[in-house]
Structure 1
Amino acid sequence: MLVSGAPGAGKSALIEEVRRAWAEAGGVSYATVGLPQPIPAPYQIWYPIWRALLGLRTYDDPFRDGARLAANLQTRLPHLSRTAAIFQNLLGVQQQEAASLEMLEAPTRQKLILDATVGLLEYAAQRAPVLLTFESLQTVDSASRAL
């Protein structure tokens, strides 16, 4: 579903109503909003969704979040656990990626991120129907749109 319209037309209220109805029907929804950034970070609109899918609820302790992210990814997608360093770096819970991942070509890195994102969504969908909502896509970076 694509919702478009002039500012103040009620798009956000409509999306919230859809999310509420989805939750009442037993589904889980993940919402994110594209915000204008002076220098957009790659995949930025996905950060809140990844944080939720990876069990990261707080922003208070990057070290603990980094360990939790790695453990949750290992549990949910053991075959893609090597992507933990990519997500830790993207989400700011680790300062440097593992040397083996720094050398990845961009297409390989993008494929790993796509595979892990799809896997995490499939994992979540096994527990309840999943709804993703993205607002203000006109402001997001090209990597976010491509994913």
Structure 2
Amino acid sequence: MQRANYYTVEPELMTYLINQEALIKQKVEASFGLTIWELLKLRASQLNQCAYCLAMHSKQALEYGESINRIIALNAWQDTPLYNEKERAALALCEKLTLSQNIDDDFYLVLAELFDQPSLVTLTVAINAINSWNRMVKMFKPTVEFNER
């Protein structure tokens, strides 16, 4: 079955999402960096089982200088020393938001120690954005293309 091509069916809405990504990228670069952003995209996509986004963001992460070992270990990030404190906090937030879990005051304070207020807003919007993309892809199932080295 051929599903709708969301880019051609609603180009105005898709332009909005693409422009949002460009703005998020600007904010991310100014606050916590592209590496954490790609890790968040990958982790949310793992949790949402979105193969299309895993393929896309694995490639993007490598282009931004991420290591293959850190990409492979991401599903078990809590059990490996490959991620620093800031990355761990961002990944924990990603999991909590993606899985609709509570953000209690203690966890918020941990985040606030590592990220300033604008960065916390950017983190939250970035995580919400990848979850939105994951859901678009789950609905319309574009062709997945993994790029082998």
TM-score by length of 1: 0.32
Greater fraction helix: 2
Greater fraction strand: 1
